[in-house]
Amino acid sequence: MKSDSVKKGMQQAPHRSLFNALGMTEEEMERPLIGIVSSYNEIVPGHMNLDKIVDAVKMGVAMAGGTPVMVPAIAVCDGIAMGHIGMKYSLVTRDLVADSTECLARAHAFDALVMVPNCDKNVPGLLMAAARINIPTVFVSGGPMLAGRVQGHKTSLSSMFEAVGAYTAGKMTEEDVKEYEQKACPTCGSCSGMYTANSMNCLTEVLGMGLKGNGTIPAVYSERLKLAKHAGMAVMELLKKNICPRDIMSEKAFRNALTMDMALGCSTNSMLHLPAIAHEAGVDLNLELANEISAKTPNLCHLAPAGPTYIEDLNEAGGIYAVMNEISKLGLLELDCITATGKTVGENIKGCVNKDPEVIRPVENPYSSTGGIAILKGNLAPDSAVVKRSAVAPEMLKHEGPARVFDCEEDAIEAIKGGKIVAGDVVVIRYEGPKGGPGMREMLNPTSAIAGMGLGSTVALITDGRFSGASRGASIGHTCPEAAVGGPIALVEEGDIISIDIDNHRLDVNVSDEEMAARKEKWQPRKPLVTSGYLARYAAMAAPASRGAILEI
């Protein structure tokens, strides 16, 4: 056992004295040492229940013969961080989580790990850490929030943000907004739609790093505690069999994740996180593969914000395994991949039936014959840009309009709420990329304002930043190269006609190559907005969004 290096032999007597200081018995020191990486805190609603999940995991580990030890991981609530400087600190925490978990696991010689995340960046951060550390590991998330209910209709956080836009447009009263405020987020858990947190928890299950139900069992269900106990037991089985994350997160597993990403209609943030996790696992995940997979993968789910159903509904319909079983009918999944259950994907999903064809469309009757996410290219995005196609109104799949150019999110929001954006416009928000932001902020406030003001089917938004999974509409993010390094988005001028063709994967500005070259000649980089602290270090090291915005050593 790896932990023998801190528990066995005369040289380790000082180490044992410190274990004694923890109250650890000799019997506990004889057992494998299992790190339980907990993202529990009292500021993120998706994490306020993780202490209960951790207790259940510890019981499962102990029942199966291990010694569980809890260690911490940080997390940011993207909703609370949204729309101010806090959002610059969201994506960047992914790498802090990976780095700090690597430090804790290596420094204390854990034999195996159980990761207990829930929200947006600490799920991929812990997956990155798992691939990097590569000791037997199982994930169990805190689970999704139940949907809210307002005036007899289910609702969620995205409706809350859009309510603010509707109030600005005079379509809601202050009392209406107050009702949403009180009812949109009724329980603990990750926000209730197919936003980034739930996307990544569901894809963790697809990758094989979480057990059945990891992505969909609601946070407030006792079934979630049973799942946590089983996760604790499962990691002990993986330890016995020496099945490690890189055995599970193979190239085939990432193809499965991309396939299910398209079927489920996951957040565009998955196009940042999957390449970053794959990088740590030693797998080259080129985003070109996404369009190839999307072309043959039907979109079967329209969960909020794309449609009126929520993660709780997906759970009742059979969960992720039911969607996987449905997609497997088309021969699109690699069924021989090993998973954290100790079984293959094919063995896991056998007999998992679709219990609600309105929530999970059968492959014979999909929402669309192609996947939920599209990668765009063109003279405005020579490397790539990303859009959640399944959340775009049909009339906006192809659009041309004048550019309304803003060099930060705040200026764009002021213009939108001030009534300066009209039907047909293409809002361009730049200098918000990994380096330029720095930190690649999410643009939920402007997209929600556009939707709430009734412009969602007539106005597009393009940015080198990114979008919350709660965003909907023709919201195109991750435009690469970003403005801060002189990408074409930095050269767009007010009134330039921008052409969007999502079905043909195109994003162009109708300006000649010669004119763009002349503009590039005159372009000067902006002075960095942040010159000290972690954000400055991140900006200096961040790779492009097309490569997952990983930190380059």
Active site residues: 468
Q: Check if the beta carbon of residue 88 is closer than 8 Å to that of residue 535.
A: yes
Cβ neighbors of 436 (< 8 A, separation 6 or more) are 430, 464, 482, 483, 484, 485, 526, 539
Contact of 321 with 352, CB cutoff 8 Å: yes
Sign of CA dihedral 5, 64, 113, 209: positive
DSSP H or E run through 440: none
- In what helix (H) or strand (E) does residue 455 lie, and over which residues does it extend? none
DSSP tag of 550: P
What is the strand order of the sheet 137-139 is part of? 67-72, 33-38, 112-116, 137-139
What is the DSSP code (8-state) at residue 542? B
Residue 363: CA count within 13 A, CB half-sphere: 16
Dihedral through CA 17, CA 22, CA 23, CA 25, nearest 10? -60
Six token digits for residue 177 = 């907004």
* Helix/strand/coil (H/E/C) assignment for every residue in 362-385: CCCCCCECCCCCEEEEECCEEEEE
Whole-number Å distance between alpha carbons of 531 and 513: 34
Cα separation of 513 and 336, whole Å? 48
Tell me the C-alpha distance between 147 and 192, whole Å. Answer: 5
Compute the C-alpha angle 77/80/85, nearest 5°: 100
**Helices and strands of the chain, counted as H and E runs:** 22, 14
Strand-pair category, 460-463 with 475-480: parallel
Tell how strand 148-150 and strand 153-155 pair up. antiparallel
Number of Cβ within 10 Å of residue 4's Cβ equals 14
User: How many residues does the structure list for the chain?
Assistant: 553
Q: How far is CA 9 from CA 2, 13, 15, 427, in A?
A: 13, 7, 10, 65
Taking the C-alpha atoms of residue 410 and residue 284, their distance in angstroms, rounded to an integer, is: 36
- The CA distance from 151 to 172, in Å, is 14
Residues 312, 192: contact at Cβ < 8 Å?
A: yes
Q: Which amino acid is at 373?
A: I
